[in-house]
Structure 1
């Protein structure tokens, strides 16, 4: 349950506290993909390797298919809307939700590869403090 909440809030997969995006508003298009290099709370890298987020396209695809199924069920099956109108509604909905789909696909993908560590923040702070003392 905590992992799901961390995903919804777009938080770090390791500590569930640090923000994964520099700007929390997904509709600031210039900052849509801007992520810090690391979590400011636990030091978890948000871009573990070059091309890491190419796999997030599969998550994005899944989210889009889920959205289509919801639109299909809601508008075509329940309300009997014409298929052409359904596609227009789906296209507009997809366009409006693109910033969320883009960000959530990255968040979900990173959460698939990293687990929560309850001591991550303490460990990171100890490393930072010992690094400063030397």
Structure 2
């Protein structure tokens, strides 16, 4: 893929931020709610340890707030400005969007958080 080797690729796919060869998550589908936040201990390809320190991913809650706001603004613009709905309908659209996209927001936030601290390493990719 063209974007492989970039942070964008790792963020949107949930791939290992170091080698981008496999998913960080035990289950790729974020809608398996019992496994939404379960990550592997380390990458089986490059042996990168995902939990850099105890409670590392608590910081992703700050990112989650911003990502949630972005989803809410997108829902508002779509419902209120594009479809000319009432404010109450726009509010309902925001709530539904945040509930339906909650698992995606959680994973996206974790992916952004770990990619803030870890860079892709071309040397980790075996050809």
Q: State TM-score, norm by structure 2.
A: 0.89
Q: Which has the higher helix share?
A: 1
Determine if the alignment matches structure 1 residue 30 to structure 2 residue 34. Answer: yes
Which of 47-56 and 70-79 deviates more? 70-79
Number of equivalenced pairs:
122
CA RMSD, 1 decimal: 1.4
Select 1:59's aligned residue among 59, 63, 70: 63
The structure with the larger Rg is 1
The C-alpha deviation readout for 1:37-96, integer Å capped at 9, x for no partner, is 111111111111112111101211111111111122121122221111111111111111
Which structure 1 residue ranges, 5 or more long, are not aligned? 123-134
Q: State TM-score, norm by structure 1.
A: 0.84
Determine if the alignment matches structure 1 residue 112 to structure 2 residue 119. Answer: no
Alignment partner, residue 83 of structure 1: 87
Shift of 1:121: 4.8
Structure 2 distance, partners of 1:69, 1:37, is: 35
Which structure 2 residue ranges, 5 or more long, are not aligned? none
